[in-house]
A and B are shown apart, each in its own frame.
Chain A
Amino acid sequence: MSLTNRLLNSLRRIKAITTKEIRQLMRDRITFGMVVMIPLIQLLLFGYAINTDVRNVPVAIVDQSNSALGRWIVEAIKVTQVVSIESHYTTASEAEAAITRGEIRAALILPPNLTEKLANKETLGQWLVDGSDTMIAGAIKQLRHMPLDQITGMKTEAPPTFEVALFYNPEQRSAVNIVPGLIAVILTMTMILFTSAAIVRERERGNLELLITTPIKPIELMLGKIFPYIIVGLIQMTIILGLGNIIFDVPINGDIAQLLMGTLLFIAASLTLGLIISTIAKSQLQAMQMTIFIILPTILLSGFMFPFEAMPKPAQWIAEILPATHFMRIIRAVVLRGGEISDMRFDALWLVGFTVIGIIIASLRFNKRLD
């Protein structure tokens, strides 16, 4: 048989697998629904819920001065909106007990000689803080240097040492950073889950026993299974970015072609990861467990929630292995900073390399033998 003929037959078999896969996907109503609902619900959930600006921390006030100045300071703190005053106590030990019970996160102690302290330019009061949540502790710490100009009528603050110009997200809205990152997280989840289940399901249902007695080659089976999910991935990306733009006002500064290219690279890498899992897992449950094993570090280490640079070196190395880390950089560069793939060529090349090696590993691992 000539090479062209063989290639043509190969394409036919890939097409057969793809057609079958799409048919099965369309008939599985719940899975088909999840393709749309996962990005939709999660976008709304994360877009609204994840907020790194700390607000409304529940606190208590222990005002032992019982003075006009004390009431002024409490009002000034309320105005910052960082805290919400839940209760008042008369002694510090009562406040500490409330912190222990978890009713409040912090308590402000204003001593009896408050007015005197102000006159002597001493530190006025003390915050008792539940420091276990570092984000909340950090927010309260910011109150240390709260200006009191309005109360005292005098300028207490020196001019700032630096001026800060905020590019790309001047209003400091979390959603701007979260929504593009969400594409990476959701695509990791659905792409790996769908493909990892794809081959294991055939094994569980006994379809594979028949397939391996046909002339189909492992690589054809792998490619045929991947194609439908590439489309699924692109649909999900469109939903997240489109709705993110409409609902959360996330700008799309980059070129659509660049966006597509970056996303395709990531989809391909995630799908091959799923295929590798599917050649290892013996059941759909195992495939699911392995997928979760990958999703958790993707959410926590890829830079989706916490800055990559702030992590210790070993965590950064682990994160570098994950395709999502590289895609997180690409998608944020393209969507938020109007960058191009060529600006991010290391990350793009890494995704390409991951895909190629992944496909080879998966094809080698998928043996048409039973032993």
Chain B
Amino acid sequence: MSNKGSSSELAIDARGLTKHFGSLAAVSNMNLSVEKGHIYGFLGPNGCGKSTSIRMLTGLLTPTAGSIEVLGMSIPKQAEALRLRIGYMTQKFSLYDDLTVKENLEFIAQIYCLTPNESKRKISELLSTYKLIKQAKQYAGTLSGGQKQRLSLACSCLNDPELLFLDEPTSAVDPQNRRDFWEQLFDLSESGTSILVTTHYMDEAERCHGLAIMEQGYIRADGSPNELMRQMGAHVIEVSHPNLRQLKSELILNAEIKSAAQLGSRLRVLVDNKISDPMGWLRQIRPELVESELRQVPPNLEDVFVTVTGQDRDSDRNSPRKPQTSEAN
């Protein structure tokens, strides 16, 4: 897993990546740089182009336009050679239900042409790393969601990949398994593996070194989670008020209010940065808030997501996006 001197320090470098299916633009003009050894996340709702992007980066789909370099190889031209150096975990469990855990691992090892000794050593190592020793002789179809997911990860690690593509790896597992899974990803990252992971969980996205927020085929913002939160361009105010539903529906009619989301007995309101005193401004436009408790809190990733994708703003979907976040660094 040495970083070749000649190639850049980027594991993935895509420029102007575009994919049309007929008249539908699944991915539009995507620029992506993933540093080696980093965990990079694609955050976005279903159908935003995450899977299509991964499929183009692995050479499974031919881009309509744009250039891709993965591990210094030009894709899709060198896709076959790339396959020896990457691992890929599909969104749906794609191993054989009627083979045992061990047989599945052996099968993939043979496909990658590991020697019998290598294969044996690697499989027993992976079985213990991914806590599957007890299940080794169990049919994969009878595993739990978390076990299936660990088996998938184990299989995609058999060839010691330099770069792992994980397509919504945690969509079918419980929170405890998700936490464990991420610990394993950090172990892999620690040992030098670059990882590209798609998710629609905010807490997972927050753990990535780098992050791209996608919507309708566009990267709306990218950078590290901290950068994104810093550059969000909105204040976060939590409002306590007896009639939150009513307040919310009235507040979001203001162009300066980017979002208002109810959290239990509080309303989380995102106010545009143009307003220098957001609490005063809120009380000014809604006099009934003078008595209410208002509190400015630090932004989280969900706030970023909401700001850049314009969720909750159905009435205002076509407003221009903030350029400083979508073209950051």
Residues of A within 8 A of B (CB): 9, 12-13, 15-16, 19-20, 23-24, 27-28, 205-216, 368-371
Partner of B94, one of A9, A19, A28, A207: A207
Q: With contacts A12-B113, A16-B111 known, what are 8 further pairs, Cβ within 8 A?
A: A9-B113, A13-B110, A20-B99, A205-B97, A207-B94, A207-B96, A212-B60, A369-B76
- Do A20 and B61 form a contact, CB below 8 Å, given A210-B88, A214-B83? no
Range class of the B interface residue count: 20 to 34
Distance (Å) between the CB of A203 and the closest chain B CB? 11
Residues 61-87 (chain B) with a chain A CB within 8 angstroms: 61-62, 76, 79-80, 83-84, 86
Contact A215 B112 (CB under 8 A): yes
The interface residues of chain B lying within 8 Å CB-to-CB of A211 are 111
Contact B107 A20 (CB under 8 A): yes
Distance (Å) between the CB of A17 and the closest chain B CB? 8
Contact A213 B60 (CB under 8 A): yes
Distance (Å) between the CB of B243 and the closest chain A CB? 49
7 closest A-B pairs by CB: A16-B110, A210-B94, A213-B88, A206-B94, A9-B113, A206-B92, A370-B60
Residues of B within 8 A of A (CB): 55, 58-62, 76, 79-80, 83-84, 86, 88, 90, 92-99, 103, 107-108, 110-113, 155
Distance (Å) between the CB of B68 and the closest chain A CB? 14
- Do A215 and B94 form a contact, CB below 8 Å, given A16-B111, A24-B99? no
The interface residues of chain B lying within 8 Å CB-to-CB of A27 are 98
Partner of A213, one of B58, B95, B97, B107: B58
- Do A12 and B110 form a contact, CB below 8 Å, given A206-B92, A213-B88? yes
In the docked arrangement, what's the CA distance between A209 and B60, Å? 9
The interface residues of chain B lying within 8 Å CB-to-CB of A19 are 107, 110
Partner of B61, one of A215, A216, A369: A369
- Do A13 and B99 form a contact, CB below 8 Å, given A206-B94, A209-B90? no
Distance (Å) between the CB of A365 and the closest chain B CB? 17
In the docked arrangement, what's the CA distance between A292 and B292, Å? 74
- Do A214 and B58 form a contact, CB below 8 Å, given A20-B99, A23-B99, A209-B90? no
Contact B107 A16 (CB under 8 A): yes
In the docked arrangement, what's the CA distance between A19 and B108, Å? 12
